Amino acid sequence: MLVISACLILTCSIVRAVEAGAPVAPAVYTLDPASLAFAKQRIQAGDPALLPAYRQLIRDAGEALVATPFTVTAKGVTPPSGDKHDYLSMAPYWWPDPSKHNGLPYVRRDGRINPATKNDETDSKRIAQFSQAVGDLGTAYYLSGDERYAQRAALLLRTWFLDPATRMNPNLNYGQAVMGVAHGRGTGIIDTRYFWQIVDAIGLIAPSGQLSEVDRAGLRQWFADYTQWLLTSPAGHDEAAARNNHGSYFDEQVIDYALFTGDRPLAGQYLQKVLTARLDTQIAADGRQPLELERTRSFHYSTFNLLALFRIARYGEQLGVDVWHYPNASRPALRIANAYLAAYAADPSSWPYKDIEGVSLADYLPLMLMAERVYGAGTEAAALRQQMQDRLPTARDWLWWPGVGLNAPESQPTGAASQG
């Protein structure tokens, strides 16, 4: 086990932030309390680099204030169980077979999203919208202090998870179904990858008191039940065995939910698995991710998988395991993988693999900012950062990862809270 020094753990950064007069850090797991506190300071100071993203957040949170509460029971199609409380989604890359009169069984077209899988008849679009709305409201409440955002977030959480009339059953038995092939598949578990925003939003709005202790206990129980389903169901076993991004996001979810529900032994068990079953096998010596390069959206899936691993590294900070510098400080796998992608983000036309949608700077932005927080930013990164700032000024990532460095505090403005 790689153990990180106490100064990399949350407590150290919070102490320094408090001493510097920064806002008290929130109880979050994927996001970084010190980074959020630093973002709040900068927004209050009117930092022009963050204001476009903050204004967009407030606009989006304003829309979430008036949106109809989301629920799985609102879908048009009833799952095979006969219970609309069961989540249902259709595999996005599967299409009717044009050679068959009824189109069955469906056939796969990797990277080509069937629009019929992203409507209100099923839940995949809804779960993404719900998670984004709660995440926006939680972040807006923390940064602005406006109680309306916390109140609305609490309502959305109760509607999706707790209200007997509208709650989601804690399973994905019917996730990513394929017409004529399967009522549900383990790959559907990736649909709940958005729930990291839910878990963190619960911590972000906690000071408001909008969630009662009964509410909080109910949410913890829901995630404990869902984690148990992940660990024991055939679908969960299939997804845990996946070698690519599906396996990474399975592990990411288990660790996040285990931290949230207080099962640190489970979180630590899966974190150790990640080191060998993911980092050792997914990332080549030069930083390529061969399993993701096989896809028709190779750049997207390379960033997508690495983002799951970056989040797991964040969880490692809270468990005393330094995933960021595994297997050794001189050649950390995550840093090498990030550097490999950074070169092509800076020069998208040079990407040598197939990506039917092209190189997306938005896909790479969170990786750049999270990597800077840990590894620091070299002078060669300045042009890429400026390119990102010019093209993506309203991205939420600027608020989540505004520049607090774990290992490069000298790169931060005077008075910035860091985890160095």
Reported as a single tens digit per residue, the pLDDT across 247-295 is 999 999 999 999 999 999 999 999 999 999 999 999 999 999 999 999 9
Cis peptide leading into residue 327 (ω within 30°) = yes
Whether 116 is in a domain gets the answer: yes
Q: Where does a domain end: 194, 222, 241?
A: 241
Tell whether 58 is covered by a domain.
no
The answer to whether 4 and 322 have CB atoms below 8 angstroms apart is yes
Residue 48: its pLDDT value, please? 95
Please provide the average confidence, as pLDDT, over all residues in the chain: 91
Q: Indicate whether 142 and 43 sit together in one domain.
A: no
Asked if 254 and 227 sit in the same domain, the reply is no
- What span, in angstroms and rounded, lies between the C-alpha atoms of 334 and 66? 40
Has residue 420 got a pLDDT over 50? no
Q: Does residue 59 form part of some domain?
A: no
Report pLDDT for 225: 98
Has residue 313 got a pLDDT over 50?
A: yes
Any domain includes 417: no
Do 149 and 9 lie in a common domain?
no
Same structural domain, 220 and 255: no
Is the pLDDT reported for residue 6 higher than 50?
A: no
Picking from 11-15, 109-113, 149-153, 362-366, which range would have the lowest pLDDT averaged per residue? 11-15
Model confidence pLDDT, tens digit, residues 371-401: 999 999 866 688 899 999 999 999 999 999 9
Dihedral angle, C-alpha 61, 65, 71, 76, nearest 10 °: -100
User: What would the DSSP string read from start to end of 15-54?
Assistant: HHHHHTTPPPPP--SSS-HHHHHHHHHHHHTT-TTTHHHH
Burial of 226 (0-12, 13-18, 19+ CB in 10 A): buried
User: What letter would DSSP give residue 117?
Assistant: G
CATH code of the domain covering residue 403: 1.50.10.100
pLDDT of residue 406: 63
Q: Which of 358, 339, 338 shows the shortest CA–CA distance to 349?
A: 358
Both 197 and 301 in one domain: the answer is no
Token digits for 80? 């095979």
If you search the block for the tokens 């050794």, which residue do you land on?
328
Based on the domain organization, do 141 and 174 belong to the same domain? Answer: yes
Give the DSSP H/E element, type plus range, for residue 232. Answer: helix 213-232
Three-state SS at 237: helix
Output the pLDDT for position 379.
Answer: 64
Identify which of 134, 248, 143 has the alpha carbon closest to the alpha carbon of residue 198.
134
62, part of any domain: no
Tell me the pTM. Answer: 0.90
Q: CA 5, CA 9: separation in Å to the nearest integer?
A: 7
| Same domain, yes or no: 128 and 265 | no
Where is the domain boundary, 241, 269, 293? 241
Residue that is last in its domain, among 223, 241, 259: 241
Q: Are residues 224 and 158 in the same domain?
A: yes
What distance in Å separates the CA atoms of residue 289 and residue 309, rounded to the nearest whole number?
A: 12
d(CA 175, CA 73): 15
Degrees (nearest 5) of the Cα angle 195, 173, 312?
Answer: 35
Asked if residue 172 is part of any domain, the answer here is: yes
45 and 85 in one domain?
no
| Cβ 39 vs Cβ 403: under 8 Å | no
Domain count, the chain: 2
Nearest alpha carbon to residue 359 among 347, 375, 374, 377 = 347
Same domain (yes/no): 181, 280: no
Map residue 349 onto helix, strand or coil.
helix
| Residue 407 φ then ψ, to 5° | -110, 5
Same domain, 147 and 216: yes
Alpha carbon distance, N-terminus to C-terminus of the chain: 21
> Has residue 374 been placed in a domain?
yes
Task: Classify residue 61: in a domain, yes or no.
Answer: no
Counting residues of the chain whose pLDDT is more than 70, the rounded percentage is 90
Question: Are 82 and 151 found together in one domain?
Answer: yes
pLDDT confidence band for 24 (50 / 70 / 90): low
Residue 279, domain extent: 1-49+243-412
